[in-house]
Structure 1
Amino acid sequence: MLFGLGIELKTIQVVGDETHDIITSVRELSAQYDIVFTSGGIGPTHDDITYESIAAAFQLDMKIDQETYDYIQKQLAKRNPNTVMTKFHARMATFPHPAILLRELPNIKIPIVVVHDNIYILPGIPSLFQLLLNSLKPKLQAMSQSACFYRREIATASPEVSIASILSDFHTQHVKIGSYPMWNNDKIKVIVTVSGQDLSRVNAIADKLTDAIHGWPYISTPKSHL
Structure 2
Amino acid sequence: MVKTITAACCIVGDEILSGKTKDTNSHYLATLLFDLGIELKTIQVVADEVEAIKKSVKELSSQHDLVFTSGGIGPTHDDITYESIASAFGLDMKVDDSTYNYIETQIKKRGKVMTKHHARMATFPSPAILLRERKDIQIPIVMVNQNVYILPGIPSLFKILLDSLQFKLQSLSGSRFYRTEIATSQSEVVIADTLSKAQSNADLFGIKIGSYPFWGKNVDNIRVVVNVSGKDQLKVNQITETITAEIKGWPYINKSRL
Task: Report TM bin, short chain.
Answer: over 0.9
Give a deviation string over 1:88-108, Cα, whole Å, max 9, x none: 000000000000000000110
Q: Of residues 167, 176, 192 in structure 2, which corresponds to 1:164?
A: 192
Q: SS in structure 2 opposite 1:170?
A: helix
Q: Partner of 1:28 in structure 2?
A: 59
Q: CA deviation at 1:184?
A: 2.1
Alignment of structure 1 residues 195-206 onto 2, 5 Å: 195-206=229-240
Matches of 1:215 and 1:156 in 2, distance apart? 4
Letter in structure 1 aligned against 2:167: P
Q: TM-score, normalised by structure 1?
A: 0.95
**Corresponding position of 2:9:** none
Larger mean CA deviation between 157-166 and 215-224 belongs to 215-224
1:92: which partner in 2? 121
Instruction: Provide the rounded CA distance (Å) in 2 between the counterparts of 1:216 and 1:58.
Output: 50
- Report what 1:179 is aligned to: 211
Q: 2:26 is matched with which residue?
A: none
- Secondary structure, aligned partner of 1:14: strand
Q: Which amino acid aligns with 1:158?
A: Q
Opposite residue 216 of structure 2, the aligned amino acid is N
In the other structure, the counterpart of 1:2 is 33
Q: What is the CA–CA distance in structure 2 between the aligned matches of 1:53 and 1:20, rounded to whole Å? A: 7
CA distance in 1 between counterparts of 2:255 and 2:165 reads: 23
Do structure 1's residue 77 and structure 2's residue 111 form an aligned pair?
no
| Offset of residue 162 of structure 1 | 1.1
The alpha carbon displacement at 1:76 in A equals 1.0
Q: Residues of 2 paired with 1:185 and 1:11: CA distance? A: 32
The equivalent residue for 1:43 is: 74
* Number of residue pairs matched by the alignment: 221
Provide Cα deviations, 1:127-151, integer angstroms capped at 9, x if missing partner. Answer: 111111110011111112x421000
Shift of 1:223: 5.3
Which letter maps to 1:148?
Answer: R
Counterpart for residue 52 of structure 1: 83
SS at match of 2:182: strand
Aligned equivalents of 2:255 and 2:146: distance in 1? Answer: 33
CA RMSD of aligned residues (A): 1.3
SS class of match (1:110)? coil
Distance 2:249 2:217 in 1: 15
TM-score (norm 2): 0.83
Aligned to 2:22: none
3-state DSSP of counterpart to 2:44: coil
Structure 2 residue identity aligned to 1:161: V
Structure 2 counterpart of 1:18, from 18, 24, 49: 49
Q: Distance in 2 between matches of 1:93 and 1:182?
A: 48
In structure 1, stretches of 5+ residues that fail to align are none
| Structure-2 separation of matches of 1:121 and 1:192 | 35
Distance across 2 between alignment mates of 1:185 and 1:119: 44
Q: 1:138 aligns with which of 167, 170, 183?
A: 167
Cα distance in 1, alignment partners of residues 108 and 114 from structure 2: 9
Q: Match of 2:186, SS?
A: coil
**1:112 correspondence with 2:141:** yes
Residue 10 of structure 1 aligns with an amino acid whose one-letter code is K
Amino acid at match of 1:169: K
